[in-house]
Structure 1
Amino acid sequence: MTAQNWIDIAHDSDTGIETLRAHFVGHAYDPHWHDSYLIGVTEQGVQQFNCRRARHLSTPGQVFHLEPGEIHDGEAPTAGGFTYRMLYLDPCWLQHELSTLFEEAPLNSQLSFPSTLTDDVRLAQATSEAFQCIHQGELTIVRQSILDNLLEQLTNHLQWRQRYREDIRLPQVALRARDILHDQMEQDLSLEILSRACGVDRFRLNRAFRAAFGLPPHAYLVQLRLAKARKLLALGRQPVEVAMSTGFADQSHMGRWFLRAYGVAPAHYRKLCTNLPDI
C-alpha cells in the first residue's frame, strides 16, 4: 500500500456483508475473484478493469457488479487515480433475501448479472446509501430498510440463469483438474501430479485449463487459497494460522499474494474487519 492508496473496510456480522471504500493510483490489484456478489459505485476518477474477456471503464456515478468467481483486475488509467465504494454480498444471504421479491426460482438456477456496468441512477443511490448505513453501523431497523431498497433496485439487474454443471463446452481434462484443485487445495500439488491424474501432459493441461477458466492451474489454485484466507481473516483468525491452513508456504508468502490481489495486507485486512489487534 503506497501513501497515495488507501482502503477502509468494515464487516457486518448480522448479514455477513463486507463494505469497502478505497482509492488507488496506477495499478490497483492483480486478476482475482471473490466468493461474493459485488456491487459498487465509482465516486471519482476512472476505474479500468478487465472482466468477461472485455475491458471496462467505470466513471463517477456508474454502478459495477460482478458475480462470484468472476475474474477481474483493477487500475487507474488517468492521473489522480479513482475512488470507489463496494458491497460484498454473501450469495446465500442474497438469494434468501430476494426470495420474497422473486417468484420461485427455476430449478438448478443461480442469480446472475447480465451486464457488468450500468448507469442506473436509482441503483447507484441505493448502493451508496446501503454502503453508508452498514459501514457506519446504523440501527438494525434502519439497515434493514435501506437494504430492502437496495434489493428492490437490484431486481432490475438480476436474472436467474442455469447453474453450471458439466458444461460440454469445457474439456473434460480441465473439469477434472479443477475438481482436483478444489479437493486438494492445501496440498503442494505439482503440474506433473495434476497432469498424470488427468491423463495428459502438462502442456495440454495448461492450454485446456486456461481456455476453460481464464487462468492457468497454478493461478487458479492461488485464487482458491486467497478466497479461503480472506474468509478466515474476516472471522478473526491470525494470519500465520491462516497461511498454514490454506497451503501457503508461510505468512509472508500469503501476504505477497494477498496484497497483489486485494490491495491490502492480511493483518491489516483482519484488523479492519474485526477491530482485533495482532497478537
Structure 2
Amino acid sequence: MKQQPPGWVEISRDNDTQIEAIRAHFTGHAYDPHWHDSYLVGVTEQGVQQFHSRRKRHQSRPGNVFLLEPGELHDGDAVDDSGFTYRMLYIDPTLMQQQLGDLFTRLPQHFELSFAATLSQDRQLAHATFYAYQALQDNEPKMVKEAALQDLFTALTRHHHWQKAPAAAPADTQLALQARDYLHSCFTENIGLSDMAQALGVDRFRLSREFQASYGLPPHAWLIQLRLVQARRLLASGIPPVDVAARLGFADQSHLGRWFKRAYQLTPARYQRHCTNLPDCG
C-alpha cells in the first residue's frame, strides 16, 4: 500500500452544492490563525487535533466533531509526533439556511444560526459527517449525496441554537466594527493603516488595539484573510492564480501563494486543480 507523506491534503468540491470536502493529515504546526466564510463541520479521524477558537484551546480526539461558524478564528497544531488526521466539510451559509428551511416549517425571523459548542462527542453526528464526506469525495449519484447531506443536517440540528441578530454595537466596539466594514469595502486596494485611521478619524494605534481586541487579529492580518477567502472562490471558478493575485491586490502570484499555503497548506494551483479538474500549471 502506498504510504502518504508526513503532511498531506486531499480536497474536492461538489458541483451541485459547492461543498468542499477535505481530508488532511498534519504533524507539528498545521496552520496559522485564519477564518472562513463557510460553516465548518469536521471530525477527527486520528491523533489529537489542537486548536484555538472562541478564545479557548480545544483538543479534538478521534470521533470528536468540531463545529465552526463563518468568521470564527481558528488555528491548528499536533500535540505529538504522530500528528492528526481529520475530515471536514465547508458548507456555504446559504446552503445551510436552505437545508434548515426544509427541516423546520418556520424559521425564526432575524435570527442567525450558531453552534452551541465547538466540540461534540455525538457519535451519530460523527457518523453522518463521515458518510457525507465520503459521498461527496466519491462523487456518488446525486440521490445518494442528497440522502447523506439530509442525514448530516438532521444530526446538526441538535447542536445549534438560534442566536439573536447582533444589536447596535456598544461604544467601545463601534470603532472596530467600522474598521471591519471599511476593510470589507476596499480589500482589493493597497490601503494602509494610516489611510484607514484617517478615514475613520482616529489614531492608528487605538484603531489597531480596538480591532484586535474585538476580532483576534490585527487589521493587516484580517485584510489578508479577506483576500484569501475571495481567492478560494475565484480559484474554484477556474480563474488562473496569476489573475486572482492581480484582482485581489497581491503583489504577484508568488505573494498570493505564500499567504495561501500558510493558511491552507495548499498552493493556489493545487487547490484549483482539485476543485475544478483543471490541469495543474504550477
Pick the TM interval, shorter chain. Answer: over 0.9
Partner of 1:138: 140
Partner of 1:75: 77
Q: 1:68 to 1:169 in 2, by over 3 A?
A: farther
Shift of 1:164: 3.1
Shift of 1:169: 6.2
Q: Distance in 2 between matches of 1:242 and 1:165?
A: 36
- Mark the runs of 5 or more structure 1 residues left unpaired by the alignment: none
Partner of 2:221: 219
Aligned ranges for residues 17-166 of structure 1 at < 5 Å? 17-164=19-166, 166=168
Shift of 1:198: 1.3
Partner of 1:191: 193
| Residue 239 of structure 2 is aligned to residue 244 of structure 1 | no
Q: Distance in 2 between matches of 1:129 and 1:64?
A: 16
What does the per-residue CA deviation read over 1:14-48, in whole Å, with 9 as the maximum and x for residues that have no partner? 01111000000101100000111000110000000
Q: 1:107 to 1:215 in 2, by over 3 A?
A: same
Partner of 1:155, secondary structure, is helix
Q: Check conservation: 1:29, 1:75, Cα contact below 8 A.
A: yes
Partner of 1:188, secondary structure, is coil
Q: Which letter does structure 2 place at the counterpart of 1:194? A: M
Q: Distance in 1 between matches of 2:136 and 2:167?
A: 35
Shift of 1:170: 4.9
What does the per-residue CA deviation read over 1:31-82, in whole Å, with 9 as the maximum and x for residues that have no partner? 0001110001100000000000000000000000100000000010111100
Q: Distance in 1 between matches of 2:173 and 2:117?
A: 26
Shift of 1:3: 4.2
Q: Distance in 1 between matches of 2:105 and 2:28?
A: 44
What does the per-residue CA deviation read over 1:201-256, in whole Å, with 9 as the maximum and x for residues that have no partner? 11111111111111111011011000000111111111101111111111111111
Shift of 1:182: 0.5
Q: Check conservation: 1:238, 1:278, Cα contact below 8 A.
A: no
Give the total of aligned pairs. Answer: 278
2:15 to 2, 5, 13: 13
Partner of 1:15, secondary structure, is coil
| Residue 261 of structure 2 is aligned to residue 259 of structure 1 | yes
Q: Which letter does structure 2 place at the counterpart of 1:51? A: S
Partner of 1:268, secondary structure, is helix
Q: Which letter does structure 1 place at the counterpart of 2:19? A: I
Shift of 1:102: 2.0
Q: Check conservation: 1:105, 1:160, Cα contact below 8 A.
A: no
Shift of 1:108: 1.4
- Mark the runs of 5 or more structure 2 residues left unpaired by the alignment: none
TM-score normalised to the size of structure 2? 0.96
Q: Distance in 2 between matches of 1:102 and 1:22?
A: 33
Partner of 1:206: 208
Partner of 2:102, secondary structure, is coil
What does the per-residue CA deviation read over 1:141-181, in whole Å, with 9 as the maximum and x for residues that have no partner? 11111111111111101121122353226522212211110
Q: Distance in 1 between matches of 2:174 and 2:96?
A: 32
Partner of 1:99, secondary structure, is helix
Q: Check conservation: 1:170, 1:212, Cα contact below 8 A.
A: no
Q: 1:5 to 1:30 in 2, by over 3 A?
A: same
Which region of structure 1 is more displaced relative to structure 2, 203-212 or 97-106? Answer: 97-106
TM-score normalised to the size of structure 1? 0.97
Partner of 1:83, secondary structure, is strand
Q: What value does the CA root-mean-square deviation take over the aligned residues?
A: 1.3
Which region of structure 1 is more displaced relative to structure 2, 157-166 or 59-68? Answer: 157-166
Q: Distance in 1 between matches of 2:169 and 2:107?
A: 21
Q: Which letter does structure 1 place at the counterpart of 2:56? A: A
Partner of 2:176: 174
Partner of 2:159, secondary structure, is coil
